[in-house]
Amino acid sequence: MSRKEPLFWISLSCGAVVLAFIIMPLFEMLTAPSPEMLRETLEDRNVVRSIWLSIYTAGSAAGISFLLGTPLAYLLARRNFRGKRLVESIIDLPIVIPHPVVGIAILSVAGRNHWFGQILSELGIRVMGSVTGIIVVLTFVGMPFYINAVKDGFEGISPRLENVARSLGASLGGAFFRITFPLAWRSMLVGLIMCCARAISEFGAVVIVAYHPMIAPVMIYERFEGYGLKYSQPVAVWLILVCLALFLVLRILALPRKKEV
């Protein structure tokens, strides 16, 4: 695209507006609290606990998505079957459902009025107002991102590699763990990052299922409601900084190595 083309300048202007739209509020928020306030916030055990709980529950949701979602993603990538489109649409549903609706839907199944909720209650599993409830909600909203990313990754690996591995003597499981898994781990990592990112930012569904124990977004909301913008900003800054550091490390791990290219 030449600089003489009007489209070049239109694209450049739109790009500048988009970047400013994203950067300005974040920059303002990150620079608003003084270093003193940030230090004080970090000394608040409730803040540290809520950020840690956010990371722990989002990580758990990613772990569950990995365990349950990987075999499903593999099945969807490798097999064509009647109703496959329907299954894919169901997996995508949590992405399009409004967040409070997700919370209400989970409570309606996990509550004492539902047979499933009664079974959970008898097993001593409490969803309402518990860490378990938060993990359930975050898995619900984060898992589609993991499954879709990993399914794309599996689809990018030729089934012929598995065929050859099997013709050489490997079982289906052997071919998966020796060939497909090592080739797909980067897409799994990307899926985990996306799942985590989505889970860590969840607020609407969590406040309905488990206001307490308090994850960081709920604490930020509570402080904003109770004490105003200035009091909630330092917690938000720390949440952003911790998440950025985590995702940066994962992203670096997910970059392709030169020798295999």
Partner 1 sequence: MIRVESLQVHLGEFHLRDIRLTIPPNGFFVLMGPTGAGKTVLLEAIAGLIPVAGGTVHINGKDVTAATPEKRGVGIMYQDYALFPHLTVRQNAFFGVRYHGVDRRTSSERFKRLTEELNIGHLLARFPGTLSGGELQRVALARALMVEPAVILLDEPLSALDPVFREEIRLLLKNLHNATNTTFFMVTHDFAEALSLATQAAIINNGVIEQTGCILDIFQRPCSAFVADFVGMKNIFPAEFNGSLSRVGDITLQLPRPPLNAPRFIAIRPEDIIISNVPPEPALPNVFRGAVTAVIDQGFSYEIQLELKKMTFRAMIPKGGLIGLGLEMGKPVHFHLREEAIHTF
Residues 6+ apart with CB under 8 A from 198: 141, 142, 145
Asked if residue 259 binds partner 1 (CB under 8 A), the reply is yes
CB of 156 to partner 1, least distance (A): 12
Closer residue to partner 1, CB minimum distance, 65 or 187: 187
Residues 6+ apart with CB under 8 A from 190: 149, 153, 254
CB of 75 to partner 1, least distance (A): 16
CA distance readout (Å), 39 to 33, 126, 221: 10, 36, 20
CA 106 to chain centre: 18
Asked if residue 163 binds partner 1 (CB under 8 A), the reply is yes
Q: Figure out which of the listed residues 27, 93, 158, 177 binds partner 1, where binding follows CB under 8 A.
A: 158
Asked if residue 170 binds partner 1 (CB under 8 A), the reply is yes
Q: Figure out which of the listed residues 15, 71, 182, 228 binds partner 1, where binding follows CB under 8 A.
A: 182
Asked if residue 174 binds partner 1 (CB under 8 A), the reply is yes
Closer residue to partner 1, CB minimum distance, 126 or 166: 166
CA distance readout (Å), 38 to 2, 47, 50, 180, 236: 46, 11, 15, 45, 10
Phi-psi region of 80 (alpha: psi -120 to 50; beta: other; left: phi over 0): beta
Asked if residue 260 binds partner 1 (CB under 8 A), the reply is yes
**Nearest one of 46, 65, 85 to 192, comparing CA atoms:** 65
Q: Figure out which of the listed residues 161, 197, 240, 242 binds partner 1, where binding follows CB under 8 A.
A: 161
Asked if residue 3 binds partner 1 (CB under 8 A), the reply is no
Asked if residue 43 binds partner 1 (CB under 8 A), the reply is no
Chain residues in the site for partner 1 (CB under 8 A): 158, 160-161, 163-172, 174, 178-179, 182-183, 259-261
